[in-house]
Structure 1
Amino acid sequence: MASGKLGSADLPAGGADTLICTVAANQAINVRFANRNAVQVRVRLSIGTGANPSSADYVDYDVAIQPYGVLEDTGIAVSAGEKVWARSDTANVSVRAHGM
């Protein structure tokens, strides 16, 4: 089972889903967003097995992050082969998935 950093990205503006990682083994993961902007942004996080996220895959949907703020989801149970996607409505948002 992989531990530590599983994947990260600097999310583009415009709400395109970005694949952060594919989980190699059953484990618990944490996902942290960092808003590097002076304005509020909205982010989404999805976890699923398809080629792209489906409506049922979203665990966070248009959640607001305040200027220079963070959002962290912790202890998300995932299965081997599941993919983690993130998106932001604004550029300059970092996301990192890490596990143990």
Structure 2
Amino acid sequence: MGLLATLKPAAGATAALYTTPTGRSATVNLSACNTGQVEARVRVAVGTGATPPASGWIEYDAVLAPSGVLERTAIALAANERLFVQSSTADVCFNVWGIEEVA
């Protein structure tokens, strides 16, 4: 298991944090860490397009206190699936660790 992606997106911007490579599947863990001094609201989604589908959200406006951490484990992704993230502040770091396997 290794670090697959890391990102600190701009406030309010939805960004693709990780995309499973073609021909592979992945099982990943996600960590969101609020390094700021105010609470943040974070969102996490899974989808295959350029933007997350309305039904793809697995966290939606979860409150993350200053110095707080949100963790999601064992997220199973098929080939070409993306993990999208968003935060209400620019102070949230997102990290993905996991294992990629031949599909």
Tell me the TM-score normalised to structure 2 length: 0.88
Q: What is the Cα-based RMSD across aligned positions, in Å?
A: 1.0
Tell me the TM-score normalised to structure 1 length: 0.91
Q: Deviations over 1:25-82 (max 9, x none)?
A: 2121001000001211100001111111111111110000111110010011111110
Distance across 2 between alignment mates of 1:10 and 1:50? 21
Distance across 1 between alignment mates of 2:33 and 2:67? 7
Distance across 2 between alignment mates of 1:87 and 1:49? 16
Which portions of structure 1, spanning 4 or more consecutive aligned residues, are displaced by more than 2 angstroms?
none
- Tell me which residue corresponds to 1:16: 13
Unmatched segments (≥5 aa) in structure 1: none
Distance across 2 between alignment mates of 1:81 and 1:98? 17
- Tell me which residue corresponds to 1:62: 61
Q: Tell me which amino acid in the other structure corresponds to 1:19.
A: A
Once the two structures are superposed, the pairs formed by residues 5-84 of structure 1 within 5 Å of their partners are 5-13=3-11, 15-24=12-21, 25-84=24-83
